């Protein structure tokens, strides 16, 4: 049971986040839903690298050679989180400008920009 549960959580996050994006009527809500989809990648990465009984890959107080989880996927999720935070900020900035231009943050109210 536990052997596939983390993967099921990742799939569920993708599905529920996409549902939020598709049915969203608020740009801020839409950006948050995108973050939910992205958080599936953290769950998936960390789940792949986990080793039963493994320690954190920090050998400051445990001897080298101790069973530890995979450091590569942890490094990937780390930069993933920072980059996601700034990209989210960029999308929210677009939402601010959309509200200024159209007076609404409902994606349905956005019209093509006249060149």
Partner 1 sequence: MSLRGRRALFLVSIPVALLVLVAAFAGLPDFGNYSGVYGRALNLIAVPQRHATDVVTAVNFDYRAFDTMGEEFILFAAVLGLAVVLRSMREEHRRASHEADEEHKFDEPSSLLRAFGVLLVGPVLVIGLYIVSHGAITPGGGFQGGVILAAALLIVFLAGEYLAMKFVAPHALVEFGEAAGAGGYVLVGFGGLVFAGVFFKNFIGLGDPAHILSAGTIPISNGAVGIEVAGAFVLLWTEFLDQALVIRGK
Report the interface residues with partner 1, using CB under 8 A. 2-7, 10-11, 14-15, 18-19, 22-23, 25, 47-52, 54, 56-60, 64-65, 68-75, 78-79, 81-83, 85-87, 89-90, 92-94, 96-97, 100, 108
CA pair distance 46, 10, nearest whole angstrom: 11
Nearer to partner 1, 18 or 32 (CB): 18
Strand partners, 68: 55
Nearer to partner 1, 52 or 113 (CB): 52
CA pair distance 43, 9, nearest whole angstrom: 8
Nearer to partner 1, 100 or 111 (CB): 100
CA pair distance 32, 17, nearest whole angstrom: 9
To the nearest whole angstrom, how small is the minimum distance from the Cβ of residue 52 to partner 1?
4
- SS3 at position 55: strand
């Amino acid at each position: 049971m536990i052997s596939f549960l983390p993967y099921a959580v990742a799939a569920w996050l993708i599905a529920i986040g996409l549902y939020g994006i598709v049915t969203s009527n608020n740009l801020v809500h839409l950006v948050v839903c995108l973050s939910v989809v992205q958080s599936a990648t953290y769950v998936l990465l960390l789940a792949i690298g986990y080793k039963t009984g493994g320690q954190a890959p920090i050998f400051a107080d445990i001897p080298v050679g101790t069973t530890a989880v995979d450091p590569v996927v942890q490094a990937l999720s780390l930069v993933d989180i920072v980059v996601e935070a700034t990209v989210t900020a960029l999308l929210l900035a677009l939402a601010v400008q959309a509200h200024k231009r159209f007076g609404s943050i409902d994606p349905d109210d956005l019209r093509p920009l006249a060149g």
